[in-house]
Amino acid sequence: MIRFERVSVRYEGTERPTLSGVDLTVPEGELVLLVGPSGVGKSTLLGTVSGLVPHFTGGLLSGRVAVDGRDTRTHKPRELADLVGTVGQDPLAHFVTDTVEDELAYGMESLGLAPDVMRRRVEETLDLLGLAELRDRPIATLSGGQQQRVAIGSVLTPHPKVLVLDEPTSALDPAAAEEVLAVLQRLVHDLGTTVLMAEHRLERVVQYAD
């Protein structure tokens, strides 16, 4: 599903590349965990999958990153939005609307999907992630775990094949982290979603990794 072929990334003003000669294949329908100390390039590697690197971050990307056959050097993030969903560490930075239901619909609106398709997918996602009772709630009133589930839901409604997560449990307490990881496991097992995730807290996540 995701292929890295001799991928290197160098940012302007740095002596050494952030990534150098990465060869890696992430199979379809697996949860793959990316580990390593801060500063080794985990976020950069994740960014090459969504096209954020180099289209938004700058820098020079050499080699090839292909997601379901699409080269991320020649496809900007917007052109990958139907294929790759990205969730960062801070869900609040991710949100663009005020309520749960509006947030779940937003990504589909920007892709121009038909209203009946949007309605069905919002309902499916509310059920899948256990958010139905929260549909009308202002996002600012939710707990950290609930906000992270909404962030995941908002990138799921366009039905991406790949989900990229950068330390999604880092700001969560153990119970909320467990809640989010259970959702990710369900996506992999029930929907066949491919998940590539960077995490520091290995004791939480290693049991879920393929």
How far apart CA 114 and CA 49 sit, in angstroms, is: 27
Cβ proximity of 182 and 195 under 8 Å: no
Strand pairing partners for 61? 9
Residue type present at position 188? V
- Above pLDDT 90, what percent of the chain? 67
The CATH number of residue 39's host domain is 3.40.50.300
- CA–CA separation, 105 vs 150, rounded Å? 11
Number of residues in the chain:
210
Instruction: Return the bridge partners of 29, or none.
Output: none
pLDDT-based confidence at 97, cuts 50/70/90?
A: very high
pLDDT at 32: 96
DSSP state string for 180-209:
HHHHHHHIIIII--EEEEE-S-HHHHGGG-
| pLDDT tens-digit map of 48-74 | 999 999 999 999 999 999 999 999 999
Average pLDDT over residues 34-61: 94
pLDDT for 112 beyond 90 = no
Structure tokens at 157: 């409604």
- Domain of residue 13: give its range: 2-208
- Tens digits of residue pLDDT in 147-189: 988 999 998 888 899 999 999 888 788 888 888 888 889 889 9
Across the chain, what does the average pLDDT equal? 92
Total domains present in the chain:
1
